Amino acid sequence: MTHHLLKANCKTVHLGGFSCELEPALTIESGDRIDVETYSGFYVYDRAPSEFLTPEFLDICENLPRDRKVGPGPHLLTGPIYVNNAEPGDVLEIKLEKIYPSLPIGFNAIRPGWGALPQEFIEPRLRFLTLDLDKNVAHFPITKSDSQNLKFQVNIPLHPFFGILGVATAENNRSSIPPGNYGGNMDNRELQPGSRIFLPVFVPGALFSIGDGHSAQGDGEIDVTAIETSMNGTIQIKIRKDLKLTSPLAETANDIITMGFAETLDAAFELALKQMIDFLEEFIGMSAEEAYVLCSIAVNFRITQVVNSPHKGVHGMLQKSILPPNSLPF
């Protein structure tokens, strides 16, 4: 097992999407660990304060080669990582060991035409928020609408995670915005350090990419962004030839998580539910009816995000503590 360092630079990041034709930023063996660096804010760097801008990030923003711009999305991703011997039909297991902001600042942006209420909030807005990394909070200043114009501050606890964890497919130049069975822009705030995400492999080497760091986000990601943050982390990647999946599956310290992505919340919920039933049938040995009943009495379904057009997301959470001992295949 090798421990790698993957820095973000013009040769190791790509912008806007996924592509099976991208030159890998790193080649690893199954079981290797990677200290990975990511940057966020490619399209707002020219309006950012100085503390948001490192020399390395500026170089990326000003000199990223054309062949590393592979899709219409706004996300700057580190990768792809080529995993030797990963083949279509395998499953990639990514363990999220450490996740932490690399800078004491992040941003939130309202984009016209996007978000949960695009017809009501039509003006673009860009806010940079200070992160107190010692106290583990973000400072959100508020101006009250009264005659005194009083100001106060909301302190938001930080719960850093990577919004995008995804693999390439045969579709070239796929946008980084919508999530899918390849993972991608899932924006699932449950994927904290200690979690594992399991992704189907579609192309040789898997070509895994990571980014879209969020220091804090509410379920739904209502205005289309979280506290977008340049984020570092440590991950371990393994090939799982003993598992067969058709969509992402995750495990946290307490829960098994299934995910559904579709154009409506109803359809996304149905997919997340069916994935949970399939999991309980295949791995726990329940009948479909038993699994359906258990989902009704013990599984919590939550809105993941409603803004990554054209796909909204729903995830189901099943407490591991209620399952039979040693029943999980992980």
Share of the chain above pLDDT 70, in %: 98
Q: What is the pLDDT of residue 327?
A: 81
Residue 63: φ, ψ to 5°: -135, 15
Task: Show the CA angle centred on residue 211, arms to residues 258 and 31, nearest 5°.
Answer: 70
**147: how many CB neighbours lie within 10 A of its CB?**
6
**Rounded distance, CA 200 to CA 92, Å?**
6
Q: In what order do the strands lie in the sheet with 3-6?
A: 3-6, 33-37, 231-240, 91-101, 196-200, 249-251, 255-262, 312-319, 299-305
**Rounded distance, CA 99 to CA 107, Å?**
18
Please state, rounded to an integer, the average pLDDT across all residues of the chain.
Answer: 95
Please name each of the domains of the chain with its CATH number. 3-106+158-240 (2.60.120.580), 254-322 (3.10.28.20)
Task: Show the CA angle centred on residue 296, arms to residues 291 and 298, nearest 5°.
Answer: 85
**Rounded distance, CA 229 to CA 103, Å?**
8
Task: Give me the mean pLDDT over the 264-278 stretch.
Answer: 98
Share of the chain above pLDDT 90, in %: 92
The per-residue pLDDT for range 133-192, each reduced to its tens digit, is 999 999 999 876 655 566 788 999 999 999 999 999 998 889 999 999 999 999 999 999
